Each structure stands twice: as structure tokens, then as C-alpha cells.
Structure 1
Amino acid sequence: MKVQAAFAAAQHRPIEIAEFDLDGPRDGEVLVEIKAAGLCHSDMSFFDGSRNWHDYPIVLGHEGAGIVREVGPGVASLARGDHVILAGIPECGECPACRSSKTNLCDAYFKPTQRRPFSLHGRPARAFCELGTFANFVTVREWQAAKIRSDVPLDVICCLACAGATGIGSAIFTARMERGASAVVFGLGGIGLNVVEGARLAGASAIIGVDTNPEKEIAGRAIGLTHFLNPRTVPDVVETIRGITGGGADYAFECVGSSAILSQAVESTRIGWGTTVTIGILPGDERVDLRPRALQEGRRLMGSYLGNVKTRSELPLLVDWYAEGKLHLDALISHRIRLDRIADGFGMLSDGRARRVVIGFDEPPHP
């Protein structure tokens, strides 16, 4: 079938839209009509020069939600008409990682696949995370589609597929914050604001946001932020955090991808038990630079990948939390666009004008 999809042709080239051919579902696969997809900095890295990648063209998009339209042979857990969130990290349910409660990183995630449902001008094309949600239809493996309830708006919960799961999960499933703990979030972008959501849901007594964009304060306070610090106007962020929390935050979350900020995050936590969760991806060959005694003083440093959320079994739980009014996902979406405005959407994401940008495939034409 013919589909419209946004893709990257090379680094330092604008994102493009073209008509691709899409192969139908084979054994263990499903065809999903994408209704909404979220824009993420990870997608942007394929054309802005920040990622070392050579397998072009690549259909972008890894945050998406839609409706199953066709199932291939051997598919048992999904049926036509099911509403689903697509997940970059699969959950096969059978490997040692899936059977363990310690990780969400299914072994299948690290095994390369030669399957290429998309093709452009007769040439097979890779899809980001084997998804490619910036297309109106995708063919994906069954274990990358999480069945969800059908009474929630797909143009809202699509953001749970990456930024939502990463942020909320980092507070609840990675850090396992306890009620009454204090948290500081460095970077209030799409992921950082979801960390605020997760910390609030965990019952945090204080949630401090750190960002150089003063406009992020309003968005943060609307969902639970109790304090806001702008490093450009606060002389010493670490000492200020220690003062607010009476010695250091119980938990810190680094959502920027900066070695210097990660060091600040660690130093801002309490001696003895402070925990820092690193979420932001450091660019290129940058290395972590920490004061040696910072960890020897009893602090912990943890990594988090998609918030330790097991995609097929736990993403539906996050959807339930939204339906029950526990999550304020609507407030985090600042712009809704059509696929033909995707370049504008990434521009707004890049310069900080947008919190979350969502492509609606049923959106009416822009006036």
C-alpha cells in the first residue's frame, strides 16, 4: 500500500515527506493506522547533526498511537479494531529480561532485524525503532504494540510512548520515589515535565524545576512544581537546592544530556542517600565528570531507559492513570499540527517554543 511518511535522507538536510510503499503484515506482525504521533528530540538527531548514523533513508517517529487494521499469521494478543500505543522497546514476554522485574530492556531490542516494511523507489528503508510513526500506516511486530482502552484520546496518550513513559517511569519505576521525598528536575522539556508528573504522583513533598527558559515555570507549576530555578539568575543552583531541601534533594533527575549538569544534579542531592537518575543522552563522545567523593558520600547514580516501563504490560497502566485524572498529559501538549508542518514542529521544539508537539493525522488543514 502507499503511505505518506516523513523521513531523513541524511544529516544536515531538512526532514522530508514522500510517498512510501508499505508491505503488509507477515507472521507475528500487525498493520496499524497511526492517528497521532509525538515529536521528540531523538527523531531530530537524525538530521540535525547530533547523531552518528549512516543507514539512510530512515522513516522517523517512535511516539505513536493508532488502531489495528490487519493482523498477520500467528498474532494472538491483538485483533482488528484494537487501540494501541506503539513502543520502541519491545516486550516479547519470554526472554530473561522480560521475565525479570529488574529491567524493561527486552533482549529482542538488542537483536538487529533485517525486516524493512517501508520502501522508497523500490529500495527498502529503515524505520526508527522499527516503527516509523511519522507515517499514516505502519507494519510492526506484535510485541511492539501495547493494547489500551478505547475511551482515551489517541492524540494525547500517544506521548506516553516515549517522553511520558520515560519521565513518569523514571520517578516511579526507576527511582521508586517514596511519599514525602523531595525531587529536583534539571531540564523541563517534554521528559522533564513528565518527571514532574511522576514525582507528584509518587507523593513528593517538594518538586524543584531547573531550566533556563522562564516560560517553563508556568507549565511546571500547573502540574505540580513547587519551586523554579533559572540558572541564569540564581548564582549557585546547587546551594539553593540544598537550602530549599534542608541539605539536599532526596532525588535528582538530569533530563538535558550534559555532563556539567549531571555533576550539578549529583551534588544537589543529600549526603547519605541522595539518588540521581540520568535520563538525558550525552552528545558525541562526552564523558561523565564527577567529584570522586560525591558517590562515596553515600549518593547513588542510576540510569533509566524509557523509565523502566515494561511496554506492553505497563504502558496500559499509565493510560489508566490518565483516564482516572491522575496525569495531566493534555497540559503538556502545546502544539498540534498536520504531517505537512512537521518541519515547523521540529523548529518549535528546537528553539524552546513548544513543550510537546503532536501530529494529528486527522487534523484539518491549517488556515
Structure 2
Amino acid sequence: MAKAGQVIKCKAAVAWEQKKPLSIEEVLLHLNESFPDLFISFLYFMQHIFATGLCHTDWEYLYETGKRLKFRSFPLVLGHEAAGVVESVGPEIHHTLYRPYTLYRPSYPIVIPLFLPFCGKCDRCQSSKTNFLLPDTSLAKVADAPLGKVCLLGTGYGAAINSGKCALFGLGAVGMAAIIGCKNAMAKTIIGVDTNPQKFEKARLFGATECISPNNGSKSIQEVLVEKTTGGVDVALECVGKPDVMIAALESTAEACGTCVIAGRMETETMSVPVIKILMGRTLKGTYFGGWKSVLGVPKIVDDYMSKKLKLDEFITHTQPLNEINTAFNPLENGERCRHLCLSVLVDFFISMCLFVDPSNPRVS
């Protein structure tokens, strides 16, 4: 068990600069009483990460034009879909679920780091409508489950099961998870939309009743969907993160009562929508983590997976060890893979989606 003042050796895939391969480094972490340079004082967890999924967001940080760098600057350690075991906690972490919780099992629990944690105290966490702001409570303790599978649970499942019937734009991991949510919400018609027809077979496996490519035919995809559903879908979920796709999703919904849910992540892009599209009665909304109270919701999803109510194994198309992580990034650009796992990752997780690596900091090497 790690203690204050101890130096921990960790292995991490470090991104030193944009458009350069990740470097497998040995990171030395000094567990001092406080972390002023990381804005963390006593509120930390030391977690041994066993597996993490690669997301297109990771690829964007590394290879796109830097549009995300106003939020995260190099060097950094990417990754926000992980699962592991808590090895130690800071002195001001008083949450008993992270401590050894029985006399007969003196070990720390399996946990999933959450990019959207849950303090349970602020107005937004206590609201029945949302979970957005948080301090330190960043891990969800879950039942014993395969770490290489449950690290994928931060996807779009809740976006659909909490938001209603849907047609899905984008059949990556988020879109596929949303299909499962639609199916569990008893949607009669589940239409998957993607430019890559190779994804259609897997989408049907997850529960899509029909799949369409927006590149087929002379009509726009929104026109096709409105005609096919006799007036528009009840709910459209945008799982790509592109403004033009968001507009298409909105326009594919029924005029008087349709809802467009934005689940695709954007940080700097803007979208322009004619007011009449909203004035006629449509609803445009976003969802972060599907509206789940993350710390409370993730254990339930893990239970659903363990009881075979939720497909998860089918998301994994490839697995690779950490030292081959750079080869795993290439297929993300063209959407060949649903989820790619890197196993045996030894990185410490500190209440943040990314751990910043400061080369001038004597605590990191």
C-alpha cells in the first residue's frame, strides 16, 4: 500500500507533443502530503489501472489541429475509459466504500474512474435532472467484474435509456451503446445512421431494426428519415460530435414533439439552427453521461452486465498491450473499430480525465 512520502514507479504512455507517437515512460510519483501544483490537497486516490479503452477523443487530442488544447495542454497522459483497483487513498478521503470494507476482505475495491463524478452535495448533484459539477468523488465502486470489459461503460447507454425512443447518428461505441438503451426502452423502431456500412451488421446485433447510410441516394438523410417514419422520429441521438450531423439529427425529428439529443462531444465548435426548427415544437438538448448520477448509475450498469442484461463483450474488437498503443490509434481515424482495449496499464488516476506530466517538476520523470 502506498504511503505519504513514498515514491511510486508507474508506467504510462505519455503524449509529449501533438502528432507524435506516445512514449512509454516510467513516471515517478512522489506521494507528498499535498499536491499544490496539481491543485489537489489530501484528496487523491491511487489506482492501479488494468485496462483502458481508446476513444476517438484521445485521437483528437493527439492528432487533430489542437482545438482541444485550450482544455488540456501537452505533455499529458490520455485516457478516460478505465477500470482498476484502488491501492491507497488520501488522508481526507472519508468515503468508506473506498476503504477495506469487510474484515474478511481486507482489500480495496474494483472501481471505474469517472470523467463526470458525483459529490452528492451540490445543487446539481442533488437535482433529479442533472449531474454536472463535482469536487473529489471521482470513482464508482462496482461489483467484481472483468476489468477489461467494464472500463467501457462511460458510453452512450444512459443517453438512450434516459431520453426515450431514438434514431442513432453515428455507430461508434457511443451509438452502439445508445442502441442498447433504445432497445431496453422498448423502442419499436431503431434506425442506425452511419457513413460506414461495415458497421451495420454489428448495429443490428445490438438491436437496430434498420441501418441507413447518408451517402446513398440524392435526398438528405433527414428527408429520408422523415419520409420513412411518416413525419419524423420521436427522438434522434447525435453520437458523432459534428455540427452538420447535429442539424441533420434535429431536422429528422417530428416537428411538433420531436427531441434531438446531442451525445457527441464538442468543445469549441458552434452550430447554427434556424429558429423555426425549434419554434415548431422540437426540443434540442444535450446529455453528458446520459443523465446518470455517475457514482450511483455505473454500479447498476455493471450489475446489468454481470446478469447478462447488457451486452458489453461485443464492443471489444481488438486488445493490445500498452507497449503497442501507437498502432491502436491508426484505425480510430477511419472508424474501423468499435472499442480498442489496452491492457495492463499502470497509471495513477487523480480526480481528472488526464494526468498532466510536467517535465520541469522534480516529482515527475
Structure 1 length as normaliser, TM-score? 0.82
Could you say what secondary structure the match of 1:46 adopts?
helix
Is residue 298 of structure 1 aligned with residue 292 of structure 2? no
2:152 to 159, 164, 169: 159
Residues 77, 350 of structure 1: CA spacing in aligned structure 2 closer, same or farther, 3 A cutoff?
same
8 Å contact 1:98–1:106 — kept in the other structure? yes
Instruction: Name the CA distance, whole Å, in 1 between partners of 2:177 and 2:14.
Output: 27
Say whether 1:5 aligns with 2:20: no
Higher relative contact order (CA 8 A, sep 6+): 2
Q: Describe the superposition over 1:278-326 as per-residue Cα deviations: whole angstroms up to 9, x where unpaired.
A: 1223474x42122321111110000111222222111111111111222
Q: Give the equivalent residue in structure 2 for 1:65.
A: 83
CA contact (8 A) 2:68 2:267 kept: no
**Pick aligned residue for 1:257 from 241, 244, 257:** 241
For the residue of structure 1 that corresponds to 2:151, the secondary structure is helix
| 1:273 paired residue number | 257
Aligned twin of 1:172: 161
Q: Cα distance, 1:84 vs. partner?
A: 0.6
- In the alignment, structure 1 residue 106 sits paired with structure 2 residue 133: yes
Deviation at 1:107, TM superposition (A): 3.7
- Structure 2 residue aligned with 1:116: none
The 1:271/1:25 distance shift into structure 2, 3 A limit, reads farther
Paired residue secondary structure (1:33):
strand
> Using a 3 Å threshold, how does the CA distance of structure 1 residues 19 and 97 change in structure 2: closer, same or farther?
same
Residue of structure 2 aligned with 1:84, choices 79, 95, 111: 111
RMSD between aligned alpha carbons? Answer: 1.9
Shift, 1:215, TM fit: 0.8
In the other structure, the counterpart of 1:188 is: 171
Q: Which runs of 5+ in 1 are unaligned?
A: 109-140, 363-367
Task: Write the distance in 1 (CA, Å) between the matches of 2:263 and 2:240.
Answer: 8
Amino acid at match of 2:159: S
Instruction: Measure, in 1, the Cα distance between the counterparts of 2:32 and 2:294.
Output: 21
Rounded Cα–Cα distance in structure 2 between residues aligned with 1:25 and 1:294: 55
Secondary structure of 2:61's counterpart equals: coil
Which of 306, 319, 324 lines up with 1:336 in the alignment?
319
TM alignment of 1:205-244, pairs within 5 A:
205-236=188-219, 237-244=221-228
What is the deviation of 1:341?
A: 1.3
- 1:25 Cα deviation after fit: 8.2
| 1:89-139 deviation line (CA, Å, top 9, x unaligned) | 22122222111112111243xxxxxxxxxxxxxxxxxxxxxxxxxxxxxxx
Residue deviations 1:337-361 (CA, integer Å, cap 9, x gap): 1111111111122222211011111
Tell me the SS of whatever aligns to 1:347.
Answer: helix
Query: Is the 1:209–1:225 Cα contact (8 Å) retained in structure 2?
Result: yes
* In structure 2, C-alpha distance between the alignment counterparts of 1:77 and 1:29, rounded to whole Å: 14
CA 1:283/1:67 → structure 2, altered by over 3 Å: closer, same or farther? closer
Q: Distance in 1 between matches of 2:217 and 2:141?
A: 45
Asked if the contact 1:98/1:105 (under 8 Å) is kept, the reply is: yes
* Identity between Structure 1 and Structure 2 (%): 36
Q: What is the count of residue pairs matched by the alignment?
A: 318
CA contact (8 A) 1:10 1:46 kept: no
Where does residue 354 of structure 2 map in the other structure?
none
- Partner SS state of residue 97, structure 2: coil
Greater mean deviation of Cα atoms: 65-74 or 32-41: 65-74
Partner of 1:11, secondary structure, is coil
- Is the CA contact (8 Å cut-off) linking 1:96 and 1:107 kept in structure 2? no
Q: Secondary structure at the match of 2:85?
A: strand
Q: Deviations over 1:45-65 (max 9, x none)?
A: 222134342632111111111
* Shift of residue 81, structure 1, vs aligned partner: 2.6
Q: CA deviation at 1:35?
A: 1.1
SS at match of 2:200: helix
Residues 157-193 of structure 1: per-residue CA shift (max 9 Å, x gap): 1011x22xxx1111123x2x1xxx4x21111011111
Secondary structure of the structure 2 residue equivalent to 1:45: helix
Q: Which amino acid aligns with 1:37?
A: T
Helix, strand or coil at the partner of 2:225: helix
User: 2 CA distance for matches of 1:230 and 1:353?
Assistant: 16
